[in-house]
Amino acid sequence: MSYQKHLRNLEISTLILALLPSTLGQVAMASQASTSATDSIWVKQPVAEALETARRENKPALLYWGAVWCPPCNQLKSQVFSHPEFASATQSFVRIYLDGDEPGAQEWGEKLNVSGYPTVLILAPEKSGKKTDKKTQMKERLRLAEFVNFKEFQTLVAAALAESVPLKKNLVAKATAKYGKKATLEEWKLLALTWDVAETSSDASDAQIKASIKELDRLFVACPHGDIRGLIAARLLNLDTGLRPAWIDAVLATDASLFTARVPFLSGAAQWLEKTPAATAKETASKLLDGVKKLQTNPALSSAEKIQAWSARLDLETAMADRKWIEMKQLDQTRRDAAADALILEATSKSAFQRHAVVSDAASLLANTGKTKEAMTMLEREAAASDTPWYYQSSMAAIAFQQKDYKSALEWSAKARNSAQGEATRLQWLVSDIVMQSKVAKAQESGDARAAGQAFVTPDQSYESVNAWLDLATSLPDGFAGRNAVRAKKVKDVIAGWPESRKKQAVLLKWAETCAKLKNEAANNCRSIMKDAASH
């Protein structure tokens, strides 16, 4: 998993985490929703109390921010938190699980500057460094916002707690220094594996992305470790609009560099090909495809990563077949193999964590191989058995939309909206339904062959849904904080596409009245986003 453009423009690496008022701490509890065996390792205290305990007892805190339905979160639970050595590896920590649906959790997300699920923070007690302020505060040492396996997690924890590890600004200076003390291998790993998500997300500003590219390129040039150099190169490839062959070569240089860079590589390989100049595109495609195939033979890949590898391979081979670089029969065989493996990986995923991490992606892979019926059957079966059916219902809505079955897409989207549980989750899925309605409405307007003449979505339905979102957001103390602010921006984009009318103005007026009822940062977020909606 990974969203944070809407949050305060803080320098994450130097963020000093002062505890929020006790009233917020009383409602933002460490999650008790899960019934898994891993529950016993997480403290059963409000977050503010848990952080105060860590500060008072001079212990580091490990704070995990996630949600029960989130596939990357469950991959982390399956591979890291459920590992038999996890408890002993983190026994010196105060371990805090902050579920995004806990009351007040999104205000904590705002305070901690986290939004994307999952995020893991390590906070350590440190003196402020000011002569006038002798109080010890909890200071961020590590921010992890993507999947790592347990071995990688152990390395990060050890590096984050080492006395020699400075915060990011100093670490970058150390890593790129020509003279003086150089960064250690562990420090390079810490820097590369936990590169700030706010600087690499799709919601980052152009200025953030430009600054991140510049800094990463300096690190790429300076890095003496091939595997870490490959990961830095992969991050550059996912950020930059251009493409340097040296970056791809660094990712593919060795088995170690490829495996270390696997997360950004598997998510971005097909897009890298689209950035490649025409003169070298065929050669680059072959290199990328060989890299995916090599990764597929690595026994260290998790089940979820194996599915991601198949998806990347399908995307690459589809592009190559379209350009006549490979024969269609090769792509057809890959589709058959991918479909067969998707069924096997789903069937062999037994624990609840594994199934949450695997099933939706396995179904998506099946649909992309042309086996739509099998994909829908898999998702319907899982939704009926799951404690989070809305996630699978949304997947069915997405597949139906891809198939231009707009009526079914709306029906599954509505079911997901109605079955969603948890404060932030209900708001997120209500917004997802609003977005689906907007997409179907646009398909109708475009005169799509299967949508033309069929009024699946009326303007009144769209207005009613947005009003329902406003009512729900207003009823929550953090309805415009954290991830909820991201959802508000999605609604803003939908409203911006509406034609001018009295009903549109009525919705905007209601939004303005909602903002007037809120306080502090939530009120500021609400007003800022609403003004953007009104300006379109």
Alpha-carbon distance of 118 to 66, in angstroms, equals 5
**Virtual torsion, Cα 46, 52, 55, 59, nearest 10 deg:** -30
Question: What are the phi and psi torsion angles at 191 (to 5°)?
Answer: -65, -45
Both structure tokens of 452: 């033309």
**Greatest mean pLDDT range, 376-380, 479-483, 511-515:** 376-380
Average pLDDT of 485-508?
91
CA-based nearest residue to 392, from 75, 34, 69: 69
Both structure tokens of 467: 């009003």
SS3 at position 12: helix
pLDDT in the model for residue 19: 39
30 has a pLDDT exceeding 50: no
Q: What is the pTM of this model?
A: 0.85
Confidence band for 520, pLDDT divided at 50, 70 and 90: confident
Alpha-carbon distance of 120 to 65, in angstroms, equals 6
Cα torsion angle, 149, 151, 155, 158, sign: positive
Alpha-carbon distance of 120 to 115, in angstroms, equals 11
At 408-456, the pLDDT tens digits run 999 999 999 999 999 999 999 999 999 999 999 988 888 765 665 666 7
Q: How far does Cα 119 stand from its chain's mean position?
A: 8
pLDDT in the model for residue 179: 62
223 has a pLDDT exceeding 80: yes
122 has a pLDDT exceeding 50: yes
Average pLDDT of 376-384?
97
62 has a pLDDT exceeding 60: yes
**DSSP H helical ranges for 420-458:** 423-445
Average pLDDT of 258-275?
94
Average pLDDT of 210-233?
93
Q: What are the DSSP calls for 336-349, one per residue? A: HHHHHHHHHHHHT-
pLDDT in the model for residue 129: 60
CA atoms within 13 A on the CB side of 464: 6
Alpha-carbon distance of 367 to 373, in angstroms, equals 8
Alpha-carbon distance of 196 to 8, in angstroms, equals 14
Both structure tokens of 29: 């509890």
Average pLDDT of 473-493?
90
How, if at all, do strands 136-144 and 94-99 pair?
A: unpaired
Stronger pLDDT, 34 or 186, i.e. the higher one: 186
pLDDT in the model for residue 3: 29
**Virtual torsion, Cα 463, 391, 267, 145, nearest 10 deg:** 90
Average pLDDT of 230-259?
94
pLDDT in the model for residue 185: 87
pLDDT in the model for residue 11: 31
SS3 at position 125: strand
Both structure tokens of 288: 């990328």
Alpha-carbon distance of 451 to 448, in angstroms, equals 5
Both structure tokens of 515: 């903002």
At 127-163, the pLDDT tens digits run 766 655 567 888 888 888 888 899 999 988 888 887 6
pLDDT in the model for residue 274: 92
Contact call for residues 456 and 406 (beta carbons, < 8 A) = yes
- Looking at residue 453, its amino acid is G
Alpha-carbon distance of 154 to 83, in angstroms, equals 11
**Virtual torsion, Cα 264, 266, 271, 277, nearest 10 deg:** 90
pLDDT in the model for residue 201: 55
Tell me the β-bridge partners of 99: 66
At 3-29, the pLDDT tens digits run 233 333 333 333 333 333 333 333 333
Confidence band for 246, pLDDT divided at 50, 70 and 90: very high
SS3 at position 182: coil
Cα 237 to Cα 209, 253, 273, 318, distances in angstroms: 12, 15, 10, 21
The helix or strand, by DSSP H or E, that contains position 121, with its residue range, turns out to be strand 119-127
At 312-321, the pLDDT tens digits run 999 999 999 9
Contact call for residues 157 and 171 (beta carbons, < 8 A) = no
Alpha-carbon distance of 98 to 483, in angstroms, equals 14
Quick one: 56 exposed, middle or buried, by C-beta within 10 A (0-12, 13-18, 19+)?
exposed
pLDDT in the model for residue 170: 75
At 200-214, the pLDDT tens digits run 455 567 888 888 899
Confidence band for 309, pLDDT divided at 50, 70 and 90: very high
The helix or strand, by DSSP H or E, that contains position 140, with its residue range, turns out to be strand 136-144
SS (H, E, C) 200-223: CCCCCCHHHHHHHHHHHHHHHHHC
Peptide bond into 118 cis (omega under 30): yes
